[in-house]
A and B are shown apart, each in its own frame.
Chain A
Amino acid sequence: MRFLKAWRDSDAFNLVLVVPAVGYLLAFSAFPLIYNVVMSFQQVDMFDVGTLIRPLRGFGNYVDVFARSEAGTVLWNTVLFVVMSIVFQLSIGFALALFFQLDFPGAKWLRGLFLAGWVMPALVVGAIWRWIFAGDFGVLNYALRSLHLIGGPVFWTSDPSIALWSIIIANVWLGIPFNMILLSVGLAGIPDDVYEAAALDGAGMIERFRSITLPLMAPTLGAVISLGVIFTLQQFDLVAALTQGGPAGASNIAQYWSWQMSFETYEISDGAVVATLMMTVVAAVALIYVRAIRHEQRA
């Protein structure tokens, strides 16, 4: 017994706990990350992915990527995609979270059912939205036409000025449940007596939201936004299912572009450049997320 306790307090035991965790991270996270960064500085051929020793190109690949005619469009599309997705996911998710906070009969059940959309694989979601968005026999156009909102069909996925927005709409739909659940948890953590005290002081509903809900929710909001950015930058399947980045690259975003270069045209170095740049952004956001979490725990 005493031996066990001594063992548990020993440095060796700590080491036993630390080594597998660190080993796992090194093998499955750090190695691929570093491998990708290294590839972005090398001249890589699909046929020598098995080695690490390849001709060095330095920043040449980075220059190449930005010199491509589609680089500007992809960059702007990615910014638009991330910002718009987050703005709508968050505002609609927050509104729903507040709504379900009202605690009407069946509120908990209904809130749970919202998750049904979120647990579906994105590729399935993509296939469903493909039918909804179909120009000639799609459900959405049928509904809009029946309501006399549009005259002719809207080509949601094949009109270059709309295609990106269609992907954003599908992505917002996909992200709302997750945002709502996380924000609901945050809302549930605010004690009722704070609101009651404020009500006694004569604060109206809007005043209570502004001076109690928002400030107390700030850490949660920060965390949800950070996670939203990370998830949105990972969103690949919807693009693949809906537009393949088209028409004419009009709805291409960085993650899909990176995949196209790596696995469609085998320009792996250039694909790795985009992946590396995206990783930098995600790492920065993750840092903010970790800080937000720390605040939350303190609070």
Chain B
Amino acid sequence: MKMLAFKLGLGVIVAVVSIHNASADPVTLQVWAQDEISHYTQVLTRDFEAKNPDIRIDLKLINFADVENDAIRAAATNTAPDVSQIDNPQVATFASHNLLLDLGPFVANSKVIHREDFYPGPLTNATWQDRLYAIPRGANTIALFYNADMFRAAGLNPDAPPKTWDELYTVARKLTDPAAHRYGLAYSAVATEEGTFQFLPFAQTAGGDFDHLDNPGTVRALEFWQKLLDEKIVSNDVLVWGQVDLMASFRAQNVAMAISGPWELPTLDREAKFDWRVAMLPVEKEGSPRASALGEHAYGVFKSSKHPQEAFRLLEYFISQQGRNWNEFGILPSVKTVTTVNPKWPAAYAIFAEEVQYAHARGPSPMWPQISKPIQVAIQTALTHRADAKTALAEAQRHVDQVLKK
């Protein structure tokens, strides 16, 4: 008797829940994103909610370095969100473990997202084994920031920034002034992903790459970095400087030229009291191929999501708003069809928009972090002269080969 009552009660509850769902109650999407200065996800999910009353967004913001780790752990314990932001070289890690929804069929029916509209770099990183597993929200890349006032003071032409490694070396050398505590150049050789991110373009313009580390081009690139450090044109502290740190030195005029990305522009605009400009990343020699690094994030929908349609609508909304990318968030568009109206810092925009076309995707490989680590170790080993560039890179290549073989 008691059991029957219990079952009846349960039946009522189930019925009530079903009716509840049948009415136009909003669907709630769990979205995980990075806590960024630009507040990209906060702003756009808020706007999306305002336009889509049938969908609520439950947004969780996570510290920069922990988003992927948290999402992987959540997926492993069946508590993954519907949508998560993923750093582009890590999409393959998620996709290869069968955690993300294949977005191909959704895109095929979409009026907003068209696969052929994406630039090749962002598309490569969002794709794993020919299937599209994430939607890249934008792109960023790195270029050469320089202090034009210092160029003038040193008798250099600020309208002719260095184009090749030789010119970069000569100019940086001229701008270096130990008495004034000033270095000519700064790159980031920190033992994190940022170090790999900054080094690979130098290797790529010389003919090397992450899977061709023992290639003479990669060796020349590392030897070039080494020469700059040995001659104190670059501070020894670049071994511990992330990109934000080296740009702080650039703003404080302790560094005349620095390599970094468009995310720095708002702060630079606000704080730098000098004539700063941006130039294309120098290539090895005249005629060498241009190369740059491709950064930025994508959003993937987890396979476990109960609301894939709604989740995809959110991603469509992100793409539809790409015209706002640059002026509001300092991100370049990832689709060719978008035009940025009245871009802020138009000269810098032109440089970055051109540079991003030469941006190489990192990977894709589900083992990217294990490939990136030996590269960081090789860079630091050579720069601190624990081994010469050739030996350090050969050792890194051995590690990368092992990883790629697995």
Q: Which of B97, B238, B254, B369 has the most CB of A within 10 A?
A: B369
Q: Which of B75, B77, B190, B236 has the most CB of A within 10 A?
A: B236
Task: List residues 172-222 of chain B with CB under 8 A from any CB of chain A.
Answer: 181, 183, 190-192
A276 proximal to B (CB < 8 A): no
Task: Determine whether the beta carbon of A247 is less than 8 Å from that of B370.
Answer: no
Q: Which B residues lie at the A interface, using CB under 8 A?
A: 69, 72-73, 75-78, 97, 99, 181, 183, 190-192, 235-240, 249, 252, 254, 369-370, 373, 377, 380-381, 383-384, 386, 395
Q: Which A residues lie at the B interface, using CB under 8 A?
A: 45-50, 69, 134-137, 153, 155, 157-160, 242-250, 260, 263-267
Assuming the contacts A247-B384, A265-B373, A267-B370, asked whether A135 and B190 have C-beta atoms less than 8 A apart, the reply is no
A243: chain B residues within 8 A (beta carbon): 240
Assuming the contacts A136-B254, A264-B373, A267-B370, asked whether A247 and B240 have C-beta atoms less than 8 A apart, the reply is yes
B240: chain A residues within 8 A (beta carbon): 157-158, 242-244, 246-247
User: Contacting A46 at CB < 8 Å: which of B76, B181, B237, B381?
Assistant: B76
User: Contacting A135 at CB < 8 Å: which of B77, B236, B383?
Assistant: B236
Assuming the contacts A49-B77, A265-B373, A267-B370, asked whether A247 and B239 have C-beta atoms less than 8 A apart, the reply is yes
Q: How far is the CA of A48 from the CA of B384 in the complex (A)?
A: 38
B369: chain A residues within 8 A (beta carbon): 264-266
In the complex, what residue of chain A is closest to B238 when comparing beta carbons?
A158
Task: Determine whether the beta carbon of B181 is less than 8 Å from that of A136.
Answer: yes
User: Contacting A158 at CB < 8 Å: which of B73, B97, B236, B370?
Assistant: B236
Q: Could you list 24 A-B pairs, sorted by A, with CB under 8 Å?
A: A45-B97, A46-B76, A47-B72, A47-B75, A47-B76, A50-B76, A50-B77, A135-B236, A136-B235, A136-B254, A137-B252, A137-B254, A155-B236, A155-B239, A158-B238, A158-B239, A159-B384, A242-B240, A244-B192, A244-B240, A246-B190, A246-B380, A247-B240, A249-B377
Task: Determine whether the beta carbon of A50 is less than 8 Å from that of B78.
Answer: yes
Q: How far is the CA of A160 from the CA of B237 in the complex (A)?
A: 11
B237: chain A residues within 8 A (beta carbon): 134-136, 155, 157-158
Q: How far is the CA of A249 from the CA of B239 in the complex (A)?
A: 11
Q: How far is the CA of A285 from the CA of B149 in the complex (A)?
A: 60
A265: chain B residues within 8 A (beta carbon): 369-370, 373
In the complex, what residue of chain B is closest to A46 when comparing beta carbons?
B72
Q: How far is the CA of A265 from the CA of B183 in the complex (A)?
A: 34
Task: Determine whether the beta carbon of A49 is less than 8 Å from that of B76.
Answer: yes
Question: In the complex, what's the smallest C-beta–C-beta distance from B304 to chain A, in angstroms?
Answer: 12
Task: Determine whether the beta carbon of A47 is less than 8 Å from that of B97.
Answer: yes
Question: In the complex, what's the smallest C-beta–C-beta distance from B69 to chain A, in angstroms?
Answer: 6
Assuming the contacts A49-B77, A249-B377, asked whether A160 and B235 have C-beta atoms less than 8 A apart, the reply is no
Task: Determine whether the beta carbon of B373 is less than 8 Å from that of A263.
Answer: no
Known: A137-B252, A158-B237. 6 other contacts (CB 8 A): A47-B97, A134-B237, A136-B254, A137-B181, A155-B239, A264-B369
A153: chain B residues within 8 A (beta carbon): 236
A137: chain B residues within 8 A (beta carbon): 181, 252, 254
Task: Determine whether the beta carbon of B191 is less than 8 Å from that of A135.
Answer: no
B75: chain A residues within 8 A (beta carbon): 47
Report, nearest first, the 8 A-B pairs whose CB atoms are least far apart.
A248-B380, A158-B239, A246-B191, A155-B236, A50-B76, A50-B77, A247-B239, A135-B237
Question: In the complex, what's the smallest C-beta–C-beta distance from A249 to chain B, in angstroms?
Answer: 7
Task: Determine whether the beta carbon of B190 is less than 8 Å from that of A244.
Answer: yes
Q: How far is the CA of A135 from the CA of B235 in the complex (A)?
A: 8
Task: Determine whether the beta carbon of B239 is less than 8 Å from that of A246.
Answer: yes
Task: Determine whether the beta carbon of A266 is less than 8 Å from that of B191.
Answer: no
Question: In the complex, what's the smallest C-beta–C-beta distance from B160 to chain A, in angstroms?
Answer: 28
Task: Determine whether the beta carbon of A247 is less than 8 Å from that of B254.
Answer: no
In the complex, what residue of chain A is closest to B378 when comparing beta carbons?
A248
